[in-house]
Chains A and B, each alone.
Chain A
Amino acid sequence: MGERKLVEIRFHGRGGQGAVTAANILAGAALRDGNKGVQAFPFFGAERRGAPIRAFARISDEEINLRSEIYNPDMVIVLDESIMEIANVLEGLKEGGAIVINTTKSCSDYDFPKKLTVATVDATGIAIKNDLLVGGIPVVNTPILGAIPKVLDKVTLESIEEEIRERWKGELGERNARAAREAYEKTEVMR
């Protein structure tokens, strides 16, 4: 999806999974990769732990003057597969866009009514393996970020790793960065 000048991304997760942080790390990484316009924002309102939440990002070659919400994303990131049972994650997603799902399933297990690039990765499994747990709950936001460069040319894995290391110094940052790399390597993509 590198040829698009402006890419709009929507994250679906549950409160506490770090979707807003993921959107922010992605924006920071995109800036490192030379995109002049980056933006990350939460759903404007209250969020509760465990409840379905959305977060958003924009990445562009040029400065972004858009301040309105995102209605027709180019890409959707699903941090929690179970959200798909209660929320329409495809809402407004552009034909020819991409969807990245945290799941143990394979891309071919999904049959969407739109022409989409589908990417799957077991971010939860990778989080557990790398001991990324907060209050016993796997932290999936850093692993799933590793899957994004597989489907979006505007951002590199290296920049995501750097951004993660800057946010969490020392060993914690290393573990999160490692999880992102592992996710990158294990992401399955079907175009």
Chain B
Amino acid sequence: MRIVVDTGNHIAAKAVQMARVDVVAAYPITPQTTIVERIAEYVEKGEFHGDYICVESEHSAMSACIGASAVGARTFTATSSHGLLLMHEMLHWAALARLPIVMANVNRAIGPGWNIWSDQNDSISQRDTGWIQFYCSSNQEIFDTIIQAFKLGEHEKVQLPVMVNYDGFILSHTSLPVKIPEQEEIDEFLPKRKIKWKLDINNPITHGNIIMPNDYPKIRRAMQEAHENAHGIIKEISREWEERFGIYHGELLELYKCDDVDYVLLSMGALGAESKVAVDEMRKKGRKIGLARVRVLRPFPKKEVIELARHSDLIVIDRNISVGMEGALFTEIKASLYGEVDAKVYGYIAGLGGKDVTFKDISKMCERVMDGKYGGYMIFDVEG
């Protein structure tokens, strides 16, 4: 195990190399570009064993990944923002075809106005495609999650694509220390992909053909079951990683100082790391508050959120907005609790379009709730 200091994007490329990916098909877009540039450098230097397919758009990138994965290849792509949106049709296809493609999505705002900075609206709007979704808060977590994502997606009880999200610039272009295991250790953790079925010219089958109304609900049911299975397998994989490498980022939630608290703060991505600093500061002032960083949005950690709400009220900060309603995480959490437990849930939106959110901002939002001055749901950056 060695420690390197590098950007989230370079670390993502390292994970792809060490996962022994067979096929990468990708198209550059800020702030993702340095992932595919680095992978291309590996190819040029002969340090990448797989094939790199240059494509003319993100829609083609995902289509190429679908083809590659369907013939049994371990497949990766990376994108961001408008690139992810252009993939939308094929994201559904990849999930319904049950292909364990792994994608890094560097969270970036949607335009217009043109904005290249961190915002989760790109991935939130792909929530219903059937992909498993992770949100990372450090470069170490990016490395570990990409490797784990292959194991998870390729698991025989899952067979689903996995999206590993992290904040544009805040992680993609920020250098942080990352522990990198030896290649043999990664190989032991992540053996070659086991294939349940594949497209094979020597053994022709068809896949994805017309399916009549009587049967279609069954494939949706099977996907739902696969997500339910993934819920448990994510936990197993997190623990296995900890046993092997001594690194633990939590399971579907990362709980930080959540024992004996009146309030739990929930957030995703880099906001979840900054929130730890906010929790430390608030606890110094005697506030009984902890943090549950949501690592996985799909499958949603419903049971875990209900457990938290049995003992505390919840404060949610979203870096996204489902316009006309509220932040997505806020909605999901309230929906999880309905009919189960009667906790109060308070929501804020902060950090859209890369607006900086400091631990002081986070403390201010939480303290307003704890002091009985919540004042209703709002976009913190605008209404302060």
Contacts and interface: CB of A to CB of B under 8 A. Distances in A.
Interface of A: 23-24, 27-28, 31, 36-42, 44-45, 64-69, 71
Is the interface on chain B under 10, 10 to 19, 20 to 34, or 35 or more residues? 20 to 34
- Please provide the 9 A-B residue pairs with the shortest distance between their CB atoms, ordered closest to farther: A41-B174, A44-B169, A67-B270, A68-B358, A40-B175, A65-B276, A65-B273, A28-B5, A67-B274
Nearest to A29: B5
Contacts of B358: 68-69, 71
Interface string B354-381: 1011110000000000000000000000
B274 A38 contact: no
Q: What is the interface of chain B mostly: helix, strand, loop, or mixed?
A: mixed
Contact of A27 (B5, B170, B171): B5
B3 interface: yes
Contacts of A40: 5, 174-175
Given A44-B170, A67-B170, A68-B358, A31 B177 contact: yes
B172 to A, nearest CB: 10
A66 B277 contact: yes
A145 to B, nearest CB: 14
Contact of B175 (A24, A36, A65, A68): A24
B155 interface: no
Interface of B: 3, 5, 116-117, 137, 167, 169-171, 173-177, 270-271, 273-274, 276-277, 354, 356-359
A69 B117 CA distance: 13
Contacts of A39: 174-176
Contacts of B117: 44-45
Given A28-B5, A38-B5, A65-B277, A44 B175 contact: no
A106 B381 CA distance: 44
A45 B31 CA distance: 9
Contacts of B3: 31
